Amino acid sequence: MIRLRWIALIAIGLMLAACAHNFAGVAPNPIGPAPDFALTDENGQPFKLSDLRGKWILLAYGYTHCPDVCPLTLAHLRDVKKAIDPTGDKVQVVFATIDPERDTTDIMRQYVGHFDQPFTQKFKGLSGTPQEIAQAAKAYNVKYEKKESTSAGGYSMSHTAEVYLIDPQFNWRMTFPFGVKAEEIAADLQYLMQHPEAK
Amino acid sequence: MKRLVIVSVVLMLVVIGAACSGSNGTTGGITLSDAWVRSPVIIDQSGAAYLVIQNHGAADKLQSVTSDAAQTIELHESMESGGMMSMAPVPNIPIPANGRIELKPGGFHMMLMGLTRPLKTGDKVQLTLNFEKAGKIPVTAEVKEQ
């Protein structure tokens, strides 16, 4: 009888350990190497995502003429960085455009510069040729299309608005759907930093 | 003496009430509150404005918005379809009878285009919302970072 009680306790303990953290993000199944891509950074320098191996990477795609959704995503990533790694260089935010027609290197520098002001480690703002951007988007199953509009602001871009998390071993660890809060991303990231083996 | 105290208390309440509702536009059955503008990330690009519309009366429609801070203001909606977020201008925003509509990031919003002055965090922007039935209602929006 006593043995049965122990078994029950151990089982409960194991269950608690297994659900110690509820992830807001979705882990790829199976977890594997992060796809690499090559673009141009906000200073006009060639950039490969794998250059950031050794850091936790938060990667998002969007466009700077997006006044509603994209600033929210970037503000969330700024808040995650502020919460977890405000003075360090362990967490790198990367924002890649899907609107090469309007988003030049110069515009990308201004755009990410608005969000990375509090940090010494600056955000990466990536642009490139339409072909390069198509490849970089395809690598993470990002879908986008140009939408002509009657708006005075010109065309808009429809796009998936997820955030991707890549670990220092350059494995793709998590995808956060649009609408996930900064606190939730920060909690998942913090947990994974402490339990790199967790899924 | 007692009457004087009561009168002053009532007066004070009226003054406080008027002061508090200063930034909230109310006309007929429609009340506007929590208006804010997201400061544009890049100085010459558009800004987005948001607020809460509470309707205590019959169904209405928000038809247009004007402000001295922007040459044009369009009504837009961000929506998700097939996993993609997209944004499109809408001709109006329907306000249900006795309903509440929140213009917020990822949904309906007002697009301030052709800004006539740089908008900095903490600045105040006067918006005039034009409803089909309730007519014009002014509201003050504060410029915020996020």
B57-70 pLDDT, tens digit each:
999 999 999 999 99
Query: How is chain A split into domains, by residue range?
Result: 22-194
What pLDDT does residue A88 have? 96
Residue of B nearest to A112 (CA): B41
When scoring B85, B90, B119 by the number of chain A Cβ atoms within 10 A, the one with the most, hence best to mutate, is B85
CATH of the domain at B94: 2.60.40.1890
Residue B85 CB neighbour total at 10 angstroms: 25
What pLDDT does residue A45 have? 98
A89-101 pLDDT, tens digit each:
999 999 999 999 9
Please state the domain count of chain B. 1
| pTM metric for this prediction | 0.82
B87-102 pLDDT, tens digit each:
889 999 999 999 999 9
* Sequence-ordered list of residues with C-beta below 8 angstroms from that of A174, at least 6 positions apart, any chain: A23, A25, A26, A27, A28, A164, A165, A188, A192
CA–CA dist B140, A184 (Å, integer): 32
- Given a cut of 70, is residue A156 above it in pLDDT? yes
Residue B2 lies in a domain: no
Predicted-assembly ipTM surpassing the 0.85 threshold:
no
CB-CB under 8 Å, A147 with B86: yes
Q: Which CATH class is domain A22-194?
A: alpha beta
Query: For the CA atoms of chain A, what is the radius of gyration?
Result: 19
Which residue range forms the structural domain that includes residue B88? Answer: 25-144
Q: Indicate the burial class of B19 (C-beta count within 10 angstroms; 0-12, 13-18, 19 or more).
A: exposed
Rounded to a whole number of angstroms, the distance from the CA of A107 to the nearest CA of chain B is: 8
Percent of chain B having pLDDT more than 70? 80
B2 pLDDT band, cuts 50/70/90, is: low
Residue B71 lies in a domain: yes
* Backbone phi, psi, residue B7, to 5°: -60, -45
Contact between A140 and A173 (Cβ < 8 Å): no
Residues of B in contact with A68 (CB under 8 A): 48, 76, 78, 87, 105-106, 109
B72-89 pLDDT, tens digit each:
999 999 998 888 999 889
Residue B76 lies in a domain: yes
What pLDDT does residue A15 have? 54
